[in-house]
Structure 1
Amino acid sequence: MKIQRLSLAACVVAGTLLAVAGCAAVPAPMSAPDAGVFFDDFSQPSVSALVAGGWTVRDQRGHPGIDGAGWGAGALSLVDDPAQRGNRLLRLTARTDGTPAGTTQAQLCHARKYLEGTYAARVRFSDTPVQGPDGDVLVQTFYTVSPLRFAYDPQYSEIDWEYLPNGGWGDARTRLYGVTWQTVRLDPWDAYNQPLQHVAALGPAGGGWHVLVMQVAQGRSRFFLDGRQLDEHGGRNYPVVPMAIAFSQWFVPAGQLAGVSVPRAYEEDVDWVYHARSRVMTPAEVEQAVQALRRSGQTAVDTVPAAEPPLASTCDF
C-alpha cells in the first residue's frame, strides 16, 4: 500500500504535531495536551491575593526605565471591568512628575518555569494618560524573561510584546514591537535580538483591547496580534532556559516631558493570561480554551510543573 506524504499543515491536529502514518517526516517533540496549563483571569480581590496565588510584585529599583524610580504594589490594582459585569481586570499604573523620586513604574511576574508552548494575554493598551499632559515615552508590555546574570549572558532568554504609544528610541511613531532576544549588555547598551515593528495606534482609537499570542516551538517563535500572524523568529534568538511570565509598564530614560512637573499617570489593563505548556495552539484555539475555563467557573489554574531544580522568579528585569 502506498503511503501518501502529507504536508506539514495537514499533519497539525489541534495545534500539536503528530507522528502518524503519512507524517513520518514530521518531528513530534511537543508533549501531550496534559503537559500543563496556566490561566489567570485576575478575579482576585486584592494584590495580596495575587501574591498568595504565585505572582511576584516587583519592588526592586533598577533596569528598565528611569534610574531611581520606584516599583511596588502601589502601582498594581485589581478593578471591576466597566464593560462586563462581574469581570475583573489587572491594572498597571505608571506615574511620574518628571523626576526619578516622583516616578513609579509597575511590574508583575509569575514563576520562572515557562519555556516552549503557547502564550497569550488579552491586554488593553492606552495612548494617552488618565491624568496630566501627554507626551512621555513609555513601554506597555506582556513578555517572558529569564535573569541576565552578566553582560552577554549566553543563557539569557526573553520574548516581548512592547507597545510604544508615544514612540521612542529615535522613532516618534506609535507602534508595537515583538522582540526575541539572544543576549544583551546593558551599559553601554549592546543588544543582540530580532524585532518586528507593527506601526499602528492600538489604544482606544485602535480598539484598546487586543489578544497577543506567542507560539514558541521547534526553534521558532511566532507572533500573532488579534489572530493575525505578524512575524516569525528563530535561530540564535530562540529561548534556551525557563522564563517567568510578566507584565510591566515603565518610562523610557530621557523620554519624559522636558521641564513639565505636572503629575501624570498612564494605565495598562490585563483581562486574562494563558499558557499551554509544550503545545502549539492557534489564536482561535486559545480563545476557545479561555472561554471554556471561564464557563466552568475556573478563574485561576496552574498545572504547569515547576522547573527542576526550582528557579527563583526575582521579578527585577
Structure 2
Amino acid sequence: MRHFRYGALALTLALACSLAAGGVVAAADSIFFDDFHYADTKALAAGGWKIRDQQGHPGIEHGQWGPDTVSLVDDPQTGGERLLRLNARTDGTPQGTFQAQLCHQRKYFEGTYAARIRFSDAPLAGPGGDLVVESFYASSPLKHDFDPQYSELDWEYLPNGGWGNPRSRLYSVSWQTVQMEPWNAFNQVHEEQRALGGWHTVLMQVAAGKIRYFLDGALLDEHGGRNYPAQPMSINFNLWFSPSGVLADSKEQRSYQQDVAWVLHAKDRLLSPAQVDAAVGAYRKAGTHRIDTVPAMTPALASNCDF
C-alpha cells in the first residue's frame, strides 16, 4: 500500500535545498522541479527534455514539428528568470503548419503534478478563430486501439472553442482508453467554460484511485475509477491546431505562443496548491533552478515524444 501525506512537506523540501559548489543539493524526497533557466535548447535537452520532431497525432495531418517551435526567453516580469516558450503557426495547409511539443522522461505516476502556464487567447499575428489547443499533460503510449494500459491526464485550453462548442474553455481530462480511427474515447472530463488568457497555475493530485484537478488553488473536479492511470507517464507540454477547426478561407499565417514558468512533480506525495507555491518560491529564492531526484524506471521506459 502506498502512503501519501500532506503536512509541511513543501517547507521541508525548501529548507533541505542549498547551494554547494555552484550546484544544488536536493532533499531525499523524489522531486522533479524545473524553471527552465537554460541558455538554449541544447542545454534544455541536457536537462532531460526532448523536442518533438516526428509527424503524427495530434494536430493537422502531415503538419510539421521541429526544434524551432520551442525556445527559451527571458521573463520580462521577473528580470532574471527564464521561460519555456512554445510557438505554433499555420497558414491552413499541412506544409505551412508548425506545432510544438516538449516531453520529459516517462517515469511519473502517483503524487502531485503542477505547472505555471501563460495561456493565449489571441494569435500574435494574423486572423483569430483557428481551433488551437494549449496543453500540459502526463501520458503513456497508446500501443493499440483501446489499450487497457493507456494512461493520460490532461489540461487543454481551447481559447477559440471547438469540438462542437464555440466557447473558450479549459478541459481537465482523465483518460481510460481510446480508438483513434474512427474516434471513440473513454474518459472523464471537466470543462471550465470561460476565457483564461494569462498566467495560471494548474495542479493535479494523483493518489488512492482519485485524480483531483486544481486551477489557481481552487478544486475544479475529482476523477477516478476506470479513468485512473495504470502505468508511469511522461510529462509533456504542447501547442497544436485541430484539423477540424483550422480556418479554411484564409491563407494568411497566424501564430500562437504558450509560455511555461516552471513545472513540478512530487512522487507519491500530495501537496496542496499553497505548498507547491511555497516550495517553488523557496527554490527560486535559493537560486535552485532544477531538481530531479525521481528515479527512472527499471528498465528505463522510452519516451518517444510522438503522441
Query: What TM-score, normalized by structure 1, do the two folds share?
Result: 0.89
Aligned to 1:296: 286
Q: Distance in 1 between matches of 2:177 and 2:298?
A: 23
CA contact (8 A) 2:51 2:67 kept: yes
Identity of matched residues, %: 59
- Paired letter, 2:54: Q
Q: Distance in 2 between matches of 1:64 and 1:283?
A: 30
Aligned to 1:6: none
Pick aligned residue for 1:104 from 94, 98, 102: 98
The Cα shift of 1:12 comes to 5.1
Pick aligned residue for 1:131 from 119, 125, 133: 125
- Paired letter, 1:265: S
Note if 1:168 corresponds to 2:162. yes
Q: Distance in 1 between matches of 2:82 and 2:254?
A: 24
Aligned to 2:55: 61
Aligned to 1:39: 33
Pick aligned residue for 2:215 from 219, 225, 236: 225
The Cα shift of 1:14 comes to 3.9
Structure 1 residue ranges, 4+ long, deviating more than 6 angstroms after superposition? none
The Cα shift of 1:87 comes to 1.3
Note if 1:307 corresponds to 2:297. yes
Q: What is the alpha-carbon root mean square deviation over aligned residues? A: 1.3
The Cα shift of 1:292 comes to 1.0
CA contact (8 A) 1:141 1:247 kept: yes
Q: Which SS does the other structure have where 2:274 is aligned?
A: helix
Over 3 Å counting, the alpha-carbon distance change for 1:12 and 1:294 in structure 2 is closer
Matched residues, number: 287
The Cα shift of 1:104 comes to 0.4
Q: Deviations over 1:6-27 (max 9, x none)?
A: xxxxx953479xxxxxxxxxxx
Q: Distance in 2 between matches of 1:124 and 1:296?
A: 24
Q: Deviations over 1:261-288 (max 9, x none)?
A: 0011000000000010000000000010
Q: Distance in 2 between matches of 1:264 and 1:112?
A: 33
Query: What TM-score, normalized by structure 2, do the two folds share?
Result: 0.92
Aligned to 2:251: 261
- Paired letter, 1:228: A
- Paired letter, 2:250: V
Q: Distance in 2 between matches of 1:223 and 1:70?
A: 31
5+ residue gaps, structure 1, are 1-10, 17-32
5+ residue gaps, structure 2, are 11-26
Q: Distance in 2 between matches of 1:99 and 1:163?
A: 22
The Cα shift of 1:81 comes to 1.1
- Paired letter, 2:132: L
Q: Deviations over 1:99-136 (max 9, x none)?
A: 00000000000000000000000000000000111110
Note if 1:113 corresponds to 2:107. yes
- Paired letter, 1:230: L
The Cα shift of 1:34 comes to 3.7
CA contact (8 A) 2:70 2:84 kept: yes
CA contact (8 A) 2:203 2:215 kept: yes
CA contact (8 A) 2:31 2:267 kept: yes
Aligned to 1:157: 151
Q: Distance in 1 between matches of 2:217 and 2:305?
A: 29
Q: Distance in 2 between matches of 1:265 and 1:244?
A: 27
Aligned to 2:85: 91
